Amino acid sequence: MLKRLLLLIFTGSLLHAGEMTIFAASDLKFALDTVKTKFLKEHPKDTIRIIYGSSGKGRVQVANGAPYDLYFSANMDYVTQLYKNGDVVTKPKLYAIGRLVIWSTNSAFDAKKGFANLRTPWAEKIAIANPSHAPYGEKAKQALESKHLYGALKPKIVLGENISQTANYIKTGAADAGIIALSLALAPTVAKSEHRTYYLIDEKLHEPLRQGYGITEYGQHNPLAKAFYRFFQSDEAQQIMKRYGFSVPGA
C-alpha cells in the first residue's frame, strides 16, 4: 500500500512538472539567470534551460523551427519579423533598452579617457561583437563611426561571435580592450574584480538597443512558457534588470 502511494505521489509530481527552453541574447546572461532563479523558487518542480547566443543567429533558428519556447532578442526588430511570419505568437514586447561600455582589463586603461583608450599604442586588439548578426556589435560599430574612429581602428578590431564571447576576449587578454554590454560589465565576476571600471558610451552615438521578447510558435501551448513570460514583466524581474544596467519600460 505504501509503495503504491509513493508511486502515485511521484507520478503526480512528474505530471505537474514543466519544462521549457529559452533562447536569449548573450547580454542577458547574468540578469536572466537571476530572474530564472527567482522564478524557480515559486516553481521548484519545473526545469528551465537557457541557450545564450547572438540574437541574429537565434532569430534564424526560431524561424527554422528550433525547439525554443521563448525568444529574448537584443534587437526588437528580430522579434517583430518573427511575429509577422508567425514564428512568434505573442505581440512583440519591449523589455529593456541596453547600453554599451568600453572595457579593458589592461592596467593602462583609464575610464575617464573614454574612446581615447582605443587609440593608444597598448590597445593593439579591440574586440566588438560581429555587427552582421549581433545587435551590440552593430551598435558598437555605429558608435565608432559616430566618433569617426571605425575606419582607423578597423585593422585592430577582432570580432566576437556574440557579446559574451567579446567580453571573454577582453577578460582573457585575447583583446586589449573592447566594447561590450553594460550588463556584462556589471556581472558579479567583474564587479568583484580589480577590472570593474568602464566607460559608459553616450547612447546618442548609436541607434537605441531596443530589446524584445515573445513566446514562439513552438512554445505557444506550454503553460510554463506563459508563466515565465508574465513573470518577466513583474516588478521583481524588472528590478533585477535595472540592477544590471538595463533601462526598463515605464521606469
Least confident among 28-42, 123-137, 143-157, 179-193: 179-193
Kindly list the structural domains of the chain, giving each domain's residue range(s) and its CATH number in brackets, ordered by start: 2-97+210-243 (3.40.190.10), 100-200 (3.40.190.10)
Rg of the chain in Å (alpha carbons): 20
User: Does the pLDDT value for residue 13 go beyond 50?
Assistant: no
User: Does the pLDDT value for residue 64 go beyond 90?
Assistant: yes
Mean pLDDT in residue range 87-108: 95
Higher pLDDT, 10 or 207: 207
Across the chain, mean pLDDT equals: 91
pLDDT in tens, 160-199: 999 999 999 999 999 999 999 999 999 876 655 565 689 9
User: Does the pLDDT value for residue 143 go beyond 90?
Assistant: yes
Give me the pLDDT at residue 196, please: 67
| Confidence band of 8 (pLDDT split at 50, 70, 90) | very low
Q: What is the pTM of this model?
A: 0.87
Mean pLDDT in residue range 148-169: 96
Give me the pLDDT at residue 238, please: 94
| Confidence band of 6 (pLDDT split at 50, 70, 90) | very low
Give me the pLDDT at residue 197, please: 86
Mean pLDDT in residue range 217-243: 96
pLDDT in tens, 109-133: 999 999 999 999 999 999 999 999 9
User: Does the pLDDT value for residue 14 go beyond 50?
Assistant: no
C-alpha span between 148 and 154 (Å, rounded): 11
Q: What percent of the chain stands above pLDDT 70?
A: 90
| Confidence band of 9 (pLDDT split at 50, 70, 90) | very low
Beta-carbon contacts of residue 172 (< 8 Å; ≥ 6 apart): none
